[in-house]
Amino acid sequence: MYVPGHFAVGDDAVRELLVRRGVGDLITATGAGVVATFLPFVFDEEARVLRGHLARNNEQWKSGVVGEGLLIVHGSDSYVSPSWYATKAEHGRVVPTWNYVTAHVYGKVRFHDDPVWVGRVVRELTERHEGAGGWSVDDAPAGFVEGQLRAVVGVEVVVSRVEGKWKLSQNRSGADIDGVVAGLRGVGDVVGAEEVERARPVGK
């Protein structure tokens, strides 16, 4: 991934995205060509592994994986109008752009056709999103759960490297950043505005 210096981020920011977001696009090269699946996952930071599951009928796991896989995790993203920049009034040399947060996770992809392994991951995913007191796998009839688990296979990405990119107007002047924040708030994109504020370089 192309990452200019002002859009690079540290490990802590990437870790927070992987933990908070918990879903991405798993892309692999297979014997049948390039295949992608939208994959909810849990991130095991200590083992440096992301785990999830795919439908048994999904060709991605049946076709084998050539080389490493790539899991693309998306954070917030926002259109940025050049009309928000202070520099538009100064010289007019401005163009539209897109702000975004993303991480590209590379690693060996392993599939697990094992209901016990898959059952553990399903419980982890459920507990992560439901929280204490929410719906539990045990709330469903055991026979129904067993049938659902037979319909999926497990997948894990053993992380070899991660590239993060936080493109959030850090390359603009302080006045332009102020304009982007105001512009995003004006169109109701509070999350995008907050991300730009958090990424604002010191002194801008």
Spell out the domain ranges in the chain: 5-77+98-171
Asked if residues 83 and 176 have their Cβ atoms less than 8 Å apart, the reply is no
Per-residue model confidence as pLDDT tens digits over 37-65: 999 999 999 999 999 999 999 989 988 88
Whether the pLDDT of residue 31 is over 90: the answer is: no
Measuring CA to CA, how many Å separate 22 from each of 106, 114, 132, 188? 16, 22, 18, 24
Q: In this predicted structure, what is the pLDDT of residue 4?
A: 92
Strand order in the sheet with 49-55: 33-40, 23-30, 66-80, 97-112, 152-167, 49-55, 42-44
Q: How far apart are the first and last CA of the chain?
A: 26
CATH of domain 5-77+98-171: 2.30.110.10
For residue 150, the model assigns a pLDDT of 93
Do strands 33-40 and 23-30 pair parallel, antiparallel, or not at all (unpaired)?
Answer: antiparallel
Answer yes or no: is pLDDT of 139 > 90.
yes
Classify 2 in phi/psi space as left (phi over 0), alpha (psi -120 to 50) or beta: beta
Q: Are 16 and 3 in contact (CB under 8 A)?
A: no
Mean pLDDT over each residue of the chain, to the nearest integer: 94
DSSP state letter for 7: G
* pLDDT per position as a tens digit, 74-100: 999 999 999 999 999 899 899 999 999
pLDDT of residue 32: 80
Structure pTM?
0.91
pLDDT at 73: 97
**CB count, 10 Å around CB of 105?**
25
What is the share, in percent, of the chain residues with pLDDT greater than 90? 90
